[in-house]
Structure 1
Amino acid sequence: MKLIKSYFIIIFFTLFTTPFFGQVKGIGLPDVRNYKRNEYKGGTQNWNIGQDKNGNLYFANNNGLLQFDGSSWRKYPLPNLTSVRCLKIDDSGKIYVGGYNEFGYFQPNEKGKLKYTSLAKRVDKSKIKIIDFIWKIHTLNNQTIFQSFARAYIFKDGKLTILKAPKRFQFSFVVSNKLYFQDIEKGILEYRNGKLYALPNTTSLNNTEVWGMYALNKNKTLIITLEKGLFIYENNTVKPWNTEANNFVKKNNSLGGVTIKNNFIVLNSVLDGIAICDFDGKIIQHINRKKGLQNNTVLTSFIDNKNNLWLGLDNGIAFINEGSPFTYFGFSYDISTVYASVIHQGNLYVATNQGVFYHAWNGSFKEDTFKLVEGTTAQSWNVQIIDNELICSNNRGALVIKGGRVTNTIDSKGYFGFKNIPNRPGFFIGSNYDGFAIFQKTSAGLIYKNQVIGFDKSSNSFELDKSFLWLKKDESIYRMSLSNDLTTFSSIKKIDRLTPQYKNIGSIQKIDNQLYFQTNNHFYKYSQEQDLFYEDKNLSKLFKNIPNINALSEDSQSNLWYAFDESIGVLMKRNKYYTNIVAPFSNLTGNLVNNYLSVNTIDSKNIFIGLTDGLAHYDSELLNNYVTKPKAFIRSFSFPGDTIVLGNNQNKIENIRIPYSSNHVRFTFSSPTYENLENVEFSYQLEPFDDKWSNWSTISIKEYTNLREGDYKMNVKVRNSYGIQSEPSTLLFTVSPPWYRHFLALIIYFVLIIIGIYVISNRIKMKIRKNKYYETIEQRRLYLEKESKIRQEQYDLEKEIEKLKNDKLQIKILAKDKELVNNSLQVVKKNKILNGIIHKLKEIDVEALDDSTKFQVSKLNKSIVKEVNTDKSWKDLEKHIKNVHFEFLKRLKEKYPTISPRELDLSTYLLMNMSTKEIAEIMNISTGGVELARYRLRKKLGLNKKENLIGFLMSI
């Protein structure tokens, strides 16, 4: 086996092969994607579709013109906000549109934005008050024709001329570069050289609306009517086209259609979706709401540049991937997860999780669904042909199928599959839920012989060679030897690794009738003589550049199908060489049945692949440009204040310069690739800002902030769902420097620096001269300041000395005051004693005394009274007490301004720790009066009963 560089081969075929003819498959349904109005943000009805040279799609919508670039939708309303009923894109890129009382064209301006130019304004409103709806637009012979019911407006060389309808136009069509109108009275008319010429014998169509005309060959034209069916115009006669397609149109009404590469015709219907027929009128494909469309009323159909079909619906838009070699049998065919498929006696059988279903292989797949084989309603793991018998490996057992039902249950255990036993003709082994069982072919059919004893593990992955049965379970394999009577396993060995280098076993399979063991894409054979595994270098080399596979199967054409991750690929064998094909199968990624690689190759045009939601049909010979190199576009370039739109067929915009204040830029990307949009990825690089390309991502927006001034180059590339990358698309732009870093600003800065140096130099010289003068002045000032400071210090010293003297004197005075207070207190005590003596003298009975004694006592009493009355010690005491406690009395008065002089005296006495009796004597009041005075003082000072009055006074 020889390896060909598979990726180069597949890219060559997919990129450079062009289709010679369009192809519509009659087996299965193509992939259908619906776009709802909440996605495209427009109205419900879509009347017409077009595509520009860059691949952007346009839709004539109830709310205006819609544009779709593969990444985003844009809407362009008409000036009068009416619906757009038709559109046409000419070679120059102008998008002509027509609506109610309005027609004209959109064209990109110098910044790429689509701007509308109205041609309806050129119509003389004094002659034509109502233009009505424009239903059709045609570009032919350098002129553009806008057709309404009453007239046609012909725009050529900047001038607008009018063609009146003989009675009333219905619709118009271009067939083989000829323009035809249907008039309700004159029939079908051909427009030549500014005049209308009636086609003979077409007035028979006056009682119906013609919605389409298509050339079947040089002399035969197909005419599609709304409700009367299909007609052929040939040799100047009109006759019904009595075909299967005609019956469809009569039943469902038609709104025209489109041809696919002059091989097939798409018929739009009012009631039942679309039907695609060949040029003989045989319906090849029928797609309606049941088969995937969101709406059954199809207003228009369009074939894009990839031969895919777009439908404008009464409510929404649909994309049908007709260019794909894949079609599908899914929910509309009543089948679910498929584990195996096979063709037997003219029927296609599929094993599913719900049972076995079948469909006539030679019959039509357009309408009817698969039928359930009676008796198989359960998990069905496999369906195989064993010695001309159809056997189903079912959860209910091994079932024989004939005539659409189960005719025999060979064994009631659940089975995974069957294989023949080498060198034992007529014997087969089946893998069941309890291990393995032996079956034998007899004249009565396949019969159950026995369960093989000794091993009870089960799996669907097992193979047999001449000596052993090999079973793969988890990541290990078991090698087992059957006894001669096929009743037991004589030996069982578990193998966890094939070589010391690789531990786990990925798969076991037979290729060209030889058994291979695969691990990490390395393939090994087993040598029984040497009891070892040895690598097949040639086969391993085939899988060198392929991701690690987990399953491999050889089909009937010797192609090698492999599964990796959740994807599938194939090494197609052509003349002993293999070509690796992966890209077309990327659509199936994630839909394959885990651990069940189900590929049934009938021939190169009919390959069935089991999926989790049905069955895929693959035609490997289908010529198409299905996988082409995509194109990447920088769709828009935005910065504060403006947006530049690219990819609208305008001339390339160069020398984009933005101010520094707008250095926050935003790019949007697009690629007019409409297959599997969810898998389309972008990568970008802004030079010189980014050092490398970004990681692939589905995000089509990128922003950069605070870019410095300079020249930039934005690169973007796209990778479609098949892994094919586009060429980079580039955009050059320049961020201007801020005004303060502009070249002129730098020159100004230089001049200002020179001037500044000159000015500063002169100022320095002046400063030096001034400094010398000021230095002299400063020295004089410092001398005077020092002299003044010395004088001030001398004065302060004298003041300090005087203050010390005053303080000393004050201390002496205070000391004298204290001494005087003490003396005064002594005098007070003396007076108290003298008063006591006076009282004692008064108590003496002087009458009992003699005169001399009486005189002496009287004289003594008077002398003592005189001493007491003339003593001024108390006033001196008060004066000196106030002098001694002046600061205390001052603080107390400041803190309690309402305190009375009497209370101040009491506070002073209490501070001196005088007793109540002493205070009473000094203040000349009773002891009760002192207690009352103390109470009032406490109240004025705000003291409670527990607080000590003397302590409080000492704290002030």
Structure 2
Amino acid sequence: MQLIKSYFIITFFTLFSITFFGQVKSIGLPDVRNYKRNEYKGGTQNWNIGQDKNGNLYFANNNGLFQFDGSSWRKYPLPNHTSVRCLKIDDSGKIFVGGYNEFGYFKTNNKGKLEYTSLAQKVDKNKIKIIDFIWKIHTLNNETIFQSFARAYILKNGKLSILKAPKRFQFSFVVNDKLYFQDVEKGILEYRNDKLYPLPNTTVLNNTEIWGMYSLSKEKILIITLEKGLFMYENNTVKPWETEANNFVRKNNSLGGAIINKKFIVLNSVLDGIIICDFNGKIIQHVNRKKGLQNNTVLTSFIDNKNNLWLGLDNGIAFLNESSPFTYFGFSYDISTVYASVIHQGNLYVATNQGVFYHAWNNSFKEDVFKLVEGTTAQSWNVQVIDNELICSNNRGALAIQGGRVTHIIDTKGYFGFKSMPNHPGYFIGSNYDGFAIFQKTGNGLVFKNQIAGFDKSSNSFELDDSYLWLKKDESIYKMQLSSDLTRFITIKKISQLSPKYKNIGSLQKIDGKIYFQTNNHFFKFSKEQDLFYEDKNLSALFKNIPIINALSEDSQSNLWYAFDESLGVLMKQNNHYKNVVAPFSNLTGNLVSSYLSVNTIDSKNIFIGLTDGLAHYDSELLNNFVTKPKAFIRSFSFPGDTIVLGNNQNKIENIRIPYSSNHVRFTFSSPIYENLETVEFSYQLEPFDDKWSNWSTISIKEYTNLREGEYTMKVKVRNSYGIQSEPSTLSFMVSPPWYRHFLAFMIYFILIIVGIYLISARVKMKIRKNKYYETIEQRRLYLEKESKIRQEQFDLEKEIEKLKSDKLQIKILAKDKELVNNSLQVVKKNKILNGIIHKLKEIDVEALDDSTKFQVSKLNKSIVKEVNTDKSWKDLEKHIKNVHFEFLKRLKEKYPTISPRELDLSTYLLMNMSTKEIAEIMNISTGGVELARYRLRKKLGLNKKENLIGFLMSI
């Protein structure tokens, strides 16, 4: 398919370099497309039509102004919601409109949307209370004229002036750059320099409404009236235009018309659609409801920029593809599926699924229907002229036709077709439902001779050469040799492939008198001498860049017609080479009759192609701008909160920026292509979001959601039904980042990062300094702790030493105390002994002694008493004990304030681990007294029986 497009582009530019001339065909009907009111969502009547520079169409409708861009319809009502009766588009793109009590213009704003500006507001309401309907709008010599029945409102340089009707205006028209008004009393008036000048001898039309005035030449003006017909104004004289067209207008009334390329006249009618006539008044086409229009009352007609015809109907809109080289004979001509066609004795015959129909070839095809050939009502596979005799291959048999009826049945078997037999003049072979039969041409016409025995298969695809009959059946071919008496097949061979490379056989055809066998676009011929198939490289090369074909037929002009994928193409023979033409036939895709390629070339201007719903007529010489390169438009660009309409705008809108919150965008596409809208396809690419172009699709809407911020370019291109692609149309826009990803935000982030880095750096430095300080402090602390520990250890050591010394001293003291106690006890014993001696001495009777002895005894007693009285050892011992155990006695006294000195002494003795006997001796009490004193001490110290008194005292 891509190769076809490339080939066609070459054809396109060849055509485009030629000046195109519009042409209206007199054979068949143009393709008609009706738009019902439920499609455009408007009112019934459409009064006027216009087209802007971008190709968009505008319709003055009962419900307002309607715009059509080829993809969608848009409605623009007037402020007072009245009917729009007329419109006019000037060179600046303003769309002037007029309705009831309202007129003004629509103009695109900076977002491409149509905005209405009322000019009726400039009218002085005190002087003119009712403006009435504005019926016509004209732009001429920097003036815009809005015409109602009572007056004309003239806009010039922004100022509005009023031109009153002499009596009452009817309608107005611009002819040869001159503006004419019809006044019901003054006739036709020419407007010049703010004044009206009557045209001579035009008051004869005062009793009728003029709906159209057109220039046929510098001297001739065609005047179209509602009821009186057509008139010609020439040499200041009005006279009826007595033509075929005038008869139609008088019968059906006319509501104006249009001129097609200064060659043809479109005449609207009230009762019977439209006619198109030439400048001589000869009717070329007649299109009415029966022939495809949805309504017979045509209010307005308009020729678009491709010379196609638009009709504003009393109910709906119609499009007639007049620029196409194709016209059609369809249901309105009472024919259905066409399998073959031929011209014979001044009639065009077509073989259909309902029988054979015919129509006079030399007469105008305005006649409504083809006529059925009597006796052929059945499936008709073919209709051929065999030796000047018309033969129909019909389900009922082989039928001879003459004068619009079947004259006789040649054979009753069903037949597919007939071919002449080489080397057997006057003999023909026919393919029937049971195989093949032999026929002979006689003075009485074609005569059945015999059925060929030995083979009962058949089809419509067969050929004969000097030696064999070749039949294509399914995907194989049969090579069959006839006996010399033509009664049987003596050899039959089935062939499934022509070459080891290619399986299956695509088609069988005869080109330039030679039989070719085609498989995968490779063409082979058969060599009888070598009994093999060999490829024709030259013919294969012709089809190298063409899709695989399934049928091929050579016409009377040596053109090669081929079918592929339900489509049609042709290699047009030009001198000694062929030119591939595909694009014009794309409209026929899907409408060709499967397995029955029917192309009847009468001449280059008259080519008939059989279709499933009728017959197509093709004029290959009709070079027209139907193949012009299409244009693609991004019709609108929408996002939440706003819509930008681009289809109307003459200039591209730049610097489109949308907020991030509106990053859900929607595009609509359009192309001012109005032929075969169903096959118009779009492809798009949003850069840089899409990596490649989208697949071709008839959908003209595309949405994107959650676009990231950035710059985007939307590109769209269109492909029309002929396979021509447009140049891409582009729209650039920017999605602003969210505030947290905005440039300023990033600047703030950058500054914050710098500040953060600085603060972090300063903090790190400060931390480093602080850490160094703390490290120094810590080192100092550790040093001091270590030093303190050393000192403490030294102190502890010294303390330990002191303790050891103290313990040693204590031990010494205890030893000394023990020694002292022992000494004290010895003293106590000594004194006791001495006291005992003193008592003993007292017992001695000194009187009985001599003086010397008495003196000696007295002296001894005194000495002992003196020794006892002067002995301070106990007091020193007691003082020493108190000094040694001062701290203990202090703590004991602080803890137990009620303890007595005697009990303190007892505690000290107990602490010294003295025995009860020793304590008794020291305290000069009995051992029982010591135990009693111990009991009292325990009680005062609050000790129970189980607690050790000495251990408790040692813990204090």
TM range (shorter): 0.7 to 0.9
For 1:217-296, what aligned pairs fall within 5 Å after superposition? 217-296=217-296
How far does the alpha carbon of each residue in 1:400-437 deviate from its partner, in whole angstroms, 9 at most, with x for none? Answer: 00011000101000000000100100100000000000
Deviations 1:838-861 (A, max 9, x none): xxxxxxxxxxxxxxxxxxxxxxxx
Partners of 1:761 and 1:478 lie apart in 2 by 95
What is the CA–CA distance in structure 2 between the aligned matches of 1:705 and 1:674, rounded to whole Å? 31
The verdict on how the C-alpha distance between 1:775 and 1:66 changes in structure 2, with shifts beyond 3 A counting, is farther
**How far apart are residue 14 of structure 1 and its match?**
3.4
> In structure 2, what is the equivalent of residue 637 of structure 1?
637
| Aligned residue number for residue 623 of structure 2 | 623
Match of 1:203 in 2: 203
Give the deviation of 1:457 after TM superposition.
0.2
CA contact (8 A) 2:629 2:725 kept: yes
Corresponding residue for 1:49?
A: 49
Question: Which one-letter code corresponds to 1:323 in the other structure?
Answer: S
Shift of 1:651: 2.1
Secondary structure of the structure 1 residue equivalent to 2:356: strand
Hey, what's the Cα distance between the residues in 2 that align with 1:231 and 1:523?
63
Structure 1 stretch 646-655 or stretch 31-40: which is displaced more? Answer: 646-655
Letter in 1 for 2:61: N
Give the Cα separation in 1 of the matches to 2:230 and 2:524: 63
Q: CA deviation at 1:367?
A: 2.6
* Aligned partner of residue 34 in structure 1, secondary structure: strand
Within 2, Cα distance between the matches of 1:541 and 1:629? 29
Distance, in Å, in 2 between the alignment partners of 1:622 and 1:745 is 65
SS at 2:369 equivalent: coil
The amino acid that maps onto 2:360 is A
Q: Which residue of 2 aligns with 1:435?
A: 435
Question: Structure 1 CA distance, aligned partners of 2:658 and 2:722?
Answer: 38
The residue that corresponds to 2:12 in the other structure is: 11
Measured in 2, the distance between the counterparts of 1:14 and 1:56 equals 24
User: Structure 1 residues 449 and 169, CA, compared in 2 at 3 Å: closer, same or farther?
Assistant: same
Deviation of the 1:13 alpha carbon: 2.9
- Secondary structure, counterpart of 1:81 in structure 2: coil
Identify if the C-alpha distance between structure 1 residues 718 and 774 changes in structure 2 by more than 3 Å, giving closer, same or farther.
Answer: farther
Kept in 1: contact 2:561–2:571 (CA 8 A): yes
Task: State the shift of 1:760 in Å.
Answer: 4.8
Alignment of 1:848-927 (within 5 A): none
Aligned twin of 1:395: 395
Q: Distance in 2 between matches of 1:9 and 1:447?
A: 51
For the 8 Å contact 2:659–2:738, the answer to whether it is kept is yes
Match of 2:70 in 1: 70
Report deviation, 1:221. Answer: 0.7
What residue number does 2:330 align with? 330
**Distance of 2:389 and 2:344 partners within structure 1:** 9
Which amino acid letter does the alignment assign opposite residue 10 of structure 1? T
Q: Distance in 1 between matches of 2:200 and 2:550?
A: 68
Alpha-carbon offset, residue 36 of structure 1? 0.6
Is the counterpart of residue 414 in structure 1 residue 398 in structure 2? Answer: no
Q: For 2:315 and 2:384, locate their aligned partners in 1 and report how far apart those are by CA, in whole Å.
A: 45
What is the rounded CA distance, in whole Å, between the counterparts of 1:452 and 1:714 in structure 2? Answer: 69
Deviation at 1:771, TM superposition (A): 9.1
Q: Please tell me the residue identity of whatever aligns with 2:458.
A: S
* Structure-2 change in CA distance of 1:4 and 1:183 (3 Å): closer
Residue identity over aligned pairs, in percent, reads: 84
Instruction: Show the counterpart of 2:954.
Output: none
Deviation at 1:750, TM superposition (A): 2.5
Q: Distance in 1 between matches of 2:750 and 2:261?
A: 71
How far residue 465 of structure 1 moved from its aligned partner, in angstroms, is 0.3
Tell me the distance in 2 between the aligned counterparts of 1:64 and 1:8: 41
Does the residue aligned with 1:498 lie in a helix, a strand or coil? strand
Task: Give the stretch that moved more between structures: 685-694 or 77-86.
Answer: 685-694
Aligned to 2:405: 405
Q: Which amino acid aligns with 2:69?
A: D
- Work out the CA distance in 2 between the residues paired with 1:78 and 1:737: 40
Q: Which consecutive unaligned segments of at least 5 residues does structure 1 have? A: 780-956
Aligned residue for 1:475? Answer: 475
Contact 1:244–1:281, Cα closer than 8 Å, also in 2: yes
Show CA shifts across 1:177-219 (max 9, x none).
Answer: 0000000000000001110000111111111100000111111
User: CA shift at 1:492, angstroms?
Assistant: 0.3
For residue 510 of structure 2, what is the amino acid of its counterpart?
K
Alignment partner, residue 489 of structure 1: 489
| Counterpart contact for 2:8–2:583, Cα < 8 Å | no
Q: Cα distance, 1:756 vs. partner? A: 3.4
After superposition, give the CA deviation of every residue in 1:680-727 in whole Å (9 maximum; x if it has no partner). Answer: 111111111111111111111111111111111111111101000001
The one-character-per-residue Cα deviations of 1:513-563 (angstroms, maximum 9, x if unpaired) are 111000000001100000011111111000011100000000000000000
Q: Could you give the per-residue CA deviations for residues 622-641 of structure 1, whole angstroms, max 9, x where no partner exists? A: 12111110001111111111
**What one-letter code is carried by the residue in structure 1 that aligns with 2:231?**
F
Q: Pairwise mapping of residues 58-137 of structure 1 onto structure 2 (< 5 A)?
A: 58-137=58-137
**What secondary structure sits across from 1:626 in the alignment?**
helix
* 8 Å contact from structure 1 (residues 4, 579) kept in 2: no
Alignment of 1:742-891 (within 5 A): 742-760=742-760, 765=766
8 Å Cα contact 1:6-1:579 kept in structure 2: no
Aligned AA for 1:69? Answer: D
Equivalent pair of 2:5/2:723 in contact (CA under 8 Å)? no
Distance in 2 separating the partners of 1:200 and 1:500: 86
Q: Which amino acid aligns with 1:98?
A: G
Using the TM superposition, give the Cα deviation of residue 299 of structure 1 relative to its aligned residue in structure 2, in angstroms.
Answer: 0.4
Secondary structure in 2 aligned to 1:480? strand
Q: Is 1:302 aligned to residue 322 of structure 2?
A: no
Tell me which amino acid in the other structure corresponds to 2:573.
K
Equivalences for residues 409-558 of structure 1 within 5 A:
409-558=409-558
Q: Does the aligned pair in 2 maintain the 1:5–1:579 contact within 8 Å?
A: no
Cα distance, 1:4–1:40 mapped onto 2, change above 3 Å: closer
* Aligned residue type for 2:523: F
Select the structure of larger CA radius of gyration.
Answer: 2
Give, as a single letter, the amino acid of the residue that structure 1 aligns with 2:655.
N
Deviation sequence 1:844-895 (CA, Å, 0-9, x none): xxxxxxxxxxxxxxxxxxxxxxxxxxxxxxxxxxxxxxxxxxxxxxxxxxxx
CA distance 1:420–1:762, change in 2 (3 Å): closer
- 8 Å CA contact 2:15, 2:623 repeated in 1: no
Residue aligning to 1:652: 652
Q: Distance in 2 between matches of 1:380 and 1:4?
A: 36
Q: Distance in 2 between matches of 1:209 and 1:267?
A: 15
Are residues 774 and 415 of structure 1, via their aligned partners in 2, closer, same or farther at CA, if it must alter by over 3 Å? farther
Contact 2:229 2:250 in 1 (8 A): yes
Q: How far off is 1:659 after superposition?
A: 1.5
Separation of aligned partners in 1, 2:360 and 2:496: 45
Query: What is the one-letter code of the residue matched to 2:18?
Result: T
- 1:607-666 CA-partner distances (Å, limit 9, x unpaired): 000000000000000121111100011111111111111121432211111112211111
Shift of 1:759: 4.6
Deviation at 1:761, TM superposition (A): 5.8
| Local SS of the residue matching 2:499 | coil
1:351 counterpart SS class: strand
- Deviation track 1:212-235 (CA, whole Å, cap 9, x = no partner) reads 001111111110000111111111
Alpha-carbon offset, residue 8 of structure 1: 4.8
User: How far does residue 73 in structure 1 lie from its aligned partner after superposition?
Assistant: 0.6
Shift of 1:16: 2.9
TM-score (norm 1): 0.79
Q: Output aligned runs, 1:135-154, within 5 Å.
A: 135-154=135-154
1:4–1:578 contact (8 Å) kept in structure 2:
no
Q: 1:56/1:202 Cα in 2 relative to 1: closer, same or farther (>3 Å)?
A: same
2:598 is matched with 598
Look up the equivalent residue of 1:35 and give its one-letter code: Y
Amino acid in the other structure paired with 1:281: G
Which residue type is aligned with residue 498 of structure 1?
Answer: L
1:12-46 C-alpha deviation (Å, 9 max, x unpaired): 23333331x32111100000000011111111110
Distance 2:188 2:778 in 1: 114
Looking at structure 1, the residues matched to 381 and 57 of structure 2 have their Cα atoms a distance apart, in angstroms, of: 45
Q: 1:734 offset after TM fit, Å?
A: 1.2
Query: Any idea what SS the aligned residue of 2:753 has?
Result: helix
Kindly report the root-mean-square deviation, in angstroms, between the aligned alpha carbons of the 2 structures: 1.9
**Residues in 2 aligned to 1:428 and 1:495: alpha-carbon distance in whole angstroms:** 25
- Tell me if 1:346 matches 2:321: no
